[in-house]
């Protein structure tokens, strides 16, 4: 699928991809803000603002009016905040693109931020944080992030803490909005069945009087780890949730595609090594999987599992053994399967206009460069067994291991002793 890149007079970038075979259109507004742009005292402010933008605008005074505008024509409207980006998106029937532009521009340009709404949403976000803290599967991931990037923005929960959310003021949010929600720091991505000239015309109408702004500074999160780390949070649960992670590769690293394939071999799908060995052969877990994250400066490779408390040590040992084994190399058949799996997933995801808008928009926003499906396919097909072995050998090192555990485990020293490759 071909894309077009346009820069409006106010500096806002627009990436468009026509999908005439569909009857829908997806519109995404990206803002370069998230936890990696927040100081410690304002942790969670980007997420708080995203919530507040849906509470009412000058044109639509309540969250119900905002949602009804899109849901009333069968569309979907939502937003999300991550470490490096905040996004607002809408997917609806093609003939309603004008409605989508009007609603999302209204959200990001004219939110009311009424004090009474701020106080209500503050409590909502605190409950969201409580929900994460109460979930062992989510909590163990939060602990791992803090271990891997201690004292850094990447190590914090995107929602912040109950203390920081309680302290954030309306004035702070308005200042943050004015600083980050500007054309120079935003991007629009559109995918689906739409008329390009009409879409650009709608966006040009919306840019009137919008202060251009500038791109704020990204806060460094790079950490040099020199020894393995283990942290256990004791809880009286039926299952131990454990997560093992190492620093991965950034979104700019050309080896990131080899790491993606390595993750597929290791723990993505029911034919992966971890699923086959840990679940099927040893019966140690119901759910075990791996995943990869790529950020602007760094990344992570993570394995997560849940197991019986009495089997926690055995599970950790078995996972570490699998990590050690792939350093010696994988088979040609495994690499071929991972290649086809990666390409197949990518192609299937491109049938959805929202995924296409996200694919092109996020790349342009984070890297300033867009790789097409064909570009990525060529790279995947060129990855060799030696590439996989080299990447595994460079990342799967004892001194880089981090193990977080949530559950009824008291023998931290015994578990820590197993974190060796």
Encode pLDDT of 112-152 as tens digits.
999 999 999 999 999 999 999 999 999 999 999 999 999 99
Domain-located, residue 220: no
Instruction: Pick 215 or 420 by higher pLDDT.
Output: 420
Same-domain status, 125 and 248? no
Residue 106 domain boundaries: 4-206
pLDDT tier for residue 71 given thresholds of 50, 70 and 90: very high
In a domain, 325, yes or no: yes
pLDDT score, position 219: 87
Residue at 98 is within a domain: yes
Give the model's confidence band at 211: pLDDT under 50 very low, under 70 low, under 90 confident, else very high. Answer: confident
How do residues 396-409 score in pLDDT, each as one tens digit? Answer: 999 999 999 999 99
Can you read off the two tokens belonging to residue 152? 């850094």
Work out the pLDDT band at 322, boundaries 50, 70, 90: very high
Q: Is 421 within a domain?
A: no
3-state secondary structure 236-293: CCCCEEEEEEEECCCCCCCCHHHHHHHHHHHHCCCCCHHHHHHHHHCCCCCCEEEEEE
Give tens-digit pLDDT for 84-110. Answer: 999 999 999 999 999 999 999 999 999
Q: What is the pLDDT of residue 143?
A: 98
Q: Are residues 178 and 236 in the same domain?
A: no
pLDDT in tens, 248-300: 999 999 999 999 999 999 999 999 999 999 999 999 999 999 999 999 999 99
Same domain, 245 and 182: no
- Please tell me whether residues 202 and 233 are part of one structural domain: no
* pLDDT of residue 1 exceeding 80: no
Q: How do residues 155-184 score in pLDDT, each as one tens digit?
A: 999 999 999 999 999 999 999 999 999 999
| Same domain flag for 311 and 202 | no
Q: Which of 171, 206, 241 is the last residue of a domain?
A: 206
Confidence of residue 221 (pLDDT cuts 50, 70, 90): confident
| 234 in the same domain as 100 | no
Task: Let me know whether 187 and 242 are in one domain.
Answer: no
197 and 235 share one domain:
no
pLDDT on residue 206: 87
Quick one: pLDDT band at residue 13, thresholds 50, 70, 90? very high
SS3 406: strand
Q: How would you list the strands of the sheet with 186-192, edge to edge?
A: 4-7, 13-18, 186-192, 24-31, 86-93, 76-81
Helix (H, G, I), strand (E, B) or coil at 164: helix
Residue 132 lies in a domain: yes
Say if residue 215's pLDDT is above 90: no
Last residue within a domain, chosen from 191, 206, 221:
206
Kindly tell me the sign of the dihedral angle through the C-alpha atoms of 193, 197, 203, 206: negative
- Is the domain of 179 the same as that of 33? yes
Just list the catalytic residues.
50
**212 falls within a domain:** no
Q: What's the total number of domains in the chain?
A: 2
Full strand arrangement of the beta sheet holding 240-247: 229-234, 402-407, 240-247, 299-307, 288-294
Q: Are residue 193 and residue 313 in the same domain, yes or no?
A: no
Return mean pLDDT, the chain. Answer: 96
Render pLDDT for 372-398 as a digit per residue (tens, 0 to 9): 999 999 999 999 999 999 999 999 999
Using the predicted structure, report yes or no on whether residue 32 has a pLDDT greater than 90. Answer: yes
pLDDT of residue 253: 97
Average pLDDT over every residue of 202-209 = 88
- 136 & 262 share domain: no
Q: Is residue 215 part of a domain?
A: no
Residue 218 belongs to a domain: no
Mean pLDDT (whole number) for 327-338 = 97
Q: Residue 200: which CATH number?
A: 3.30.830.10
Q: Are residues 168 and 80 in the same domain?
A: yes
- The whole-model pTM stands at 0.96
Residue that has been written with the tokens 């790279």 in this structure: 379
Residues present in the chain in total: 421
39/51 Cα distance (integer angstroms): 19
């Amino acid at each position: 699928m071909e894309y077009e890149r346009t820069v409006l007079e106010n500096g806002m970038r627009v990436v468009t991809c026509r999908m005439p075979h569909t009857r829908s259109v997806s519109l995404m507004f990206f803002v370069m803000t998230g936890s990696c742009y927040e100081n410690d005292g304002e942790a969670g402010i980007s997420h708080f603002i995203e919530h507040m933008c849906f509470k009412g605008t000058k044109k639509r005074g309540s969250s119900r009016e905002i949602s009804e505008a899109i849901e009333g024509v069968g569309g979907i409207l939502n937003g999300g905040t991550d470490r490096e980006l905040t996004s607002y998106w809408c997917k609806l029937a093609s003939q309603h693109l004008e409605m989508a532009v009007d609603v999302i521009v209204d959200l990001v340009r004219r939110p009311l931020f009424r004090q009474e709404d701020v106080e209500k949403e503050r409590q909502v976000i605190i409950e969201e944080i409580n929900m994460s803290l109460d979930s062992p599967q989510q909590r163990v991931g939060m602990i791992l992030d803090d271990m891997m990037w201690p004292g850094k923005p990447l190590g914090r929960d995107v929602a912040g803490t109950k203390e920081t959310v309680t302290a954030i003021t309306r004035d702070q949010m308005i200042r943050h909005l004015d600083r980050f929600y500007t054309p120079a720091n935003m991007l629009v991505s559109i995918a689906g069945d739409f008329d390009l000239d009409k879409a650009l015309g709608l966006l040009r109408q919306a840019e009137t009087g919008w202060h251009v702004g500038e791109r704020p500074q990204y806060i460094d999160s790079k950490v040099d780890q020199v020894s393995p780390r283990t942290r256990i949070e004791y809880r009286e649960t039926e299952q131990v949730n454990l997560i093992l992670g190492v620093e991965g590769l950034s979104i700019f690293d050309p080896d990131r595609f080899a790491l993606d394939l390595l993750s597929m071999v290791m723990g993505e799908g029911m034919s992966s090594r971890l699923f086959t060995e840990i679940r099927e052969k040893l019966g140690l877990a119901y759910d075990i999987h791996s995943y990869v994250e790529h950020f602007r400066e760094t990344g992570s490779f993570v394995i997560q599992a849940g197991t019986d408390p009495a089997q926690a040590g055995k599970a950790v040992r078995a996972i570490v053994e699998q990590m050690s084994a792939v350093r010696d190399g994988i088979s040609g058949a495994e690499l071929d399967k991972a290649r086809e799996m990666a390409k197949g997933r990518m192609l299937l995801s491109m049938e959805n206009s929202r995924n296409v808008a996200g694919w092109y928009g996020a790349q342009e926003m984070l890297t300033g460069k867009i790789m097409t499906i064909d570009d990525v396919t060529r790279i995947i097909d060129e990855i060799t067994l030696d590439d996989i072995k080299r990447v595994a050998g460079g990342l799967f090192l004892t001194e880089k291991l981090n193990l977080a555990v949530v559950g009824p485990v008291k023998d931290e020293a015994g578990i820590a002793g197993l974190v060796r490759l």
